[in-house]
């Protein structure tokens, strides 16, 4: 197992829980101790000890003897799905999503808001806390107060993260966040364990546990938003690399491009095909007269975004179509190189820019299949995510469950 993907203990707060036992009980709903012992291949005392710790945490309950099939009636245990919840936060460059999720990482309540991550950690995390508080004030379906049953927080941020320390490191599109102790900030406020990761990593985890990447051991999740990043799933776990910056594909050079990038280089993928770049391209098309539709939109609103390109495409605006195809080709060329290198079986395309639609996806696909080796694409699927904008919060919740309860959301098959 990759060392950086091993569940981390945080300040002794984590109970010693056996995720295998919990997962089997969860997936079964109700199960006899004898069946559990058989399925896990463990001794009866070992299973009993694990069940005791899970019972103390309230995650399972004994339900008394079940119906006898001849001999002694079986002793049953039952998963208690609403015994614990976690909070998942997906912080993007221009918005935040917050959800309360159950022990299957499925959101049961959700709030979202627009913001600007460039306003810095104090203001932005203040908004995050307001949204968390709003969710904590709403009673859950079982009538319980969230504050009584929430056990941890997971948060994704749009930049490189030192996962063990829970802080951003040199995030290019997050001025003021470098080395900011996100984990401590939230842990002090709420008293729960907090896990911080890169947003694309968490989206990859989300799609891996409940979406397009279920049961896929090695895949890439390319997030095309304001920034461009990539979550790398290796053997069913997030691969973070040496400094936590693995998947930082936004500054890979695109052939034939010379646009200056905020990183100091030129021709970076993000400077060509990221959300801000597409807004800039839309403005150029409007101002140059290439696109009358975008010119009207600019006159009406004073600013253009990738969404305006999407609108123009629906109006068969040829300049907009060409611009989106060029962005897709650039994304696909970079992904083609990574497909050659990483030989995944799946590339999931996600992030806000994907809302532009099929034209972008088609251009990305065409470019990947043209520039990757046939062997690398023989069994390759390129698809949009199955969870849409929810991938991030589901992945954040799943990460908390994996770290707290070793309740790995991905199937055993994917973990190889």
Contacts with a copy of itself by CB under 8 A lie at 1-4, 6, 160, 169-170, 172, 217-218, 230, 232, 234-235, 239-249, 251-256, 263, 265, 267, 333-334, 336-338, 340-345, 370-371, 373-376, 378-380, 416
* Residue 291 C-beta: closest distance to a copy of itself, Å: 29
* Residue 226 C-beta: closest distance to a copy of itself, Å: 17
* Residue 361 C-beta: closest distance to a copy of itself, Å: 21
- Cα 332 from chain centre: 21
* Residue 222 C-beta: closest distance to a copy of itself, Å: 11
Return the number of the residue (44 or 255) whose C-beta is nearest a copy of itself.
255
Residue 293's Cβ-count burial label (10 Å; 0-12, 13-18, 19+) is buried
Distances from the Cα of 74 to the Cαs of 42, 47, 67, 391, in angstroms?
17, 15, 7, 40
Q: How many other β-carbons are positioned within 10 Å of the β-carbon of residue 252? A: 19
Among 154, 235, 132, 167, residue whose Cα is nearest residue 404: 154
Return the number of the residue (113 or 373) whose C-beta is nearest a copy of itself.
373
Which DSSP helix (H) or strand (E) runs through 347?
strand 346-350
* Residue 36 C-beta: closest distance to a copy of itself, Å: 25
Return the number of the residue (232 or 294) whose C-beta is nearest a copy of itself.
232
Token pair for 224: 């095309």
Return the number of the residue (107 or 344) whose C-beta is nearest a copy of itself.
344
* Residue 173 C-beta: closest distance to a copy of itself, Å: 12
Query: Regarding beta strands 219-224 and 346-350, do their DSSP bridges make them parallel or antiparallel, or are they unpaired?
Result: parallel
* Residue 269 C-beta: closest distance to a copy of itself, Å: 9
* Residue 241 C-beta: closest distance to a copy of itself, Å: 3
Which DSSP category does 219 fall into? E
Return the number of the residue (239 or 405) whose C-beta is nearest a copy of itself.
239
* Residue 402 C-beta: closest distance to a copy of itself, Å: 17
Give the Cα-Cα-Cα angle 274, 280, 286 (nearest 5 degrees). Answer: 135
Return the number of the residue (70 or 374) whose C-beta is nearest a copy of itself.
374
Residue 346: phi, psi to the nearest 5? -155, 135
Return the number of the residue (234 or 309) whose C-beta is nearest a copy of itself.
234
- Assign 3-class secondary structure to 12-77: CCCCCCCHHHHHHHHHHCEEEHHHHHHHHCCCHHHHHHHHHHHHHCCCEEEEEECCCCCCCCCEEE
The DSSP result for 100-153, as a single string, is EE-TTS-EEEEEEEE--GGG-HHHHHHHHHHHHHHHHHSPPTTS--HHHHEEEE
Residue 364: phi, psi to the nearest 5? -60, -50
Return the number of the residue (146 or 236) whose C-beta is nearest a copy of itself.
236
Return the number of the residue (30 or 170) whose C-beta is nearest a copy of itself.
170
Residue 142's Cβ-count burial label (10 Å; 0-12, 13-18, 19+) is exposed
Return the number of the residue (13 or 341) whose C-beta is nearest a copy of itself.
341
Contacts of 177 (CB under 8 A, 6+ apart): 117, 120, 121, 157, 159, 168, 171
Separation between Cα atoms, residue 140 and residue 86, nearest integer Å: 12
* Residue 221 C-beta: closest distance to a copy of itself, Å: 13
């Amino acid at each position: 197992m990759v060392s950086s993907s091993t569940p981390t203990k945080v300040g002794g707060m984590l109970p010693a829980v056996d995720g295998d036992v919990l997962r089997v009980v969860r997936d079964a709903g109700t199960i006899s101790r004898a069946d559990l012992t058989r399925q896990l291949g463990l001794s009866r005392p070992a299973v009993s000890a694990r069940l005791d710790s899970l019972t103390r945490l309230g995650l399972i309950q004994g339900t008394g003897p079940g119906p006898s099939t001849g001999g002694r009636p079986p002793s049953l245990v039952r998963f208690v799905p609403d015994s614990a919840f976690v909070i998942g936060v997906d912080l993007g460059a221009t918005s935040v999503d917050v959800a309360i999720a159950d022990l299957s990482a499925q959101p049961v309540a959700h709030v979202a808001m627009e913001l600007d991550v460039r306003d810095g950690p104090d203001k932005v995390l203040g908004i995050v806390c307001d949204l968390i508080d709003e969710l904590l004030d709403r009673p859950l379906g079982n009538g319980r107060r969230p504050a009584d049953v929430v056990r941890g927080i997971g948060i994704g941020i749009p930049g490189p993260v030192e996962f063990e320390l829970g802080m951003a490191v040199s995030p290019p599109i997050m001025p003021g966040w470098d080395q900011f102790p996100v984990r401590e900030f939230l842990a002090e406020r709420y008293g729960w364990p907090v896990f911080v990761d890169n947003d694309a990593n968490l989206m990859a985890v989300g799609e891996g546990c409940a979406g397009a990447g279920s049961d896929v051991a090695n895949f890439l999740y390319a997030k095309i938003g304001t920034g461009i990043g990539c979550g790398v799933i290796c053997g069913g776990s997030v691969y973070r690399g040496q400094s936590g910056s693995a998947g930082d594909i936004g500054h890979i050079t695109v052939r034939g491009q010379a646009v200056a990038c905020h990183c100091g280089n030129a021709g970076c993928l993000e400077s060509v095909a990221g959300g801000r770049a597409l807004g800039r391209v839309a403005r150029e098309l409007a101002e140059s007269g290439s696109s009358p539709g975008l010119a009207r939109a600019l006159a009406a609103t004073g600013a253009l975004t990738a969404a305006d390109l999407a609108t123009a495409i629906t109006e068969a605006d040829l300049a907009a179509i060409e611009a989106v195809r060029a962005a897709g080709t650039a994304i696909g060329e970079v992904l083609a190189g990574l497909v050659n290198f990483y030989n995944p079986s799946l590339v999931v395309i996600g992030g806000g820019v994907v809302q532009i639609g099929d034209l972008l996806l088609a251009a990305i696909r065409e470019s990947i299949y043209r520039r990757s080796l046939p062997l690398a694409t023989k069994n390759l699927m390129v698809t949009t995510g199955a969870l849409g904008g929810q991938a991030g919060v589901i992945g954040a919740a799943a990460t908390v469950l994996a770290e707290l309860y070793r309740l790995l959301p991905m199937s055993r098959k994917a973990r190889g």
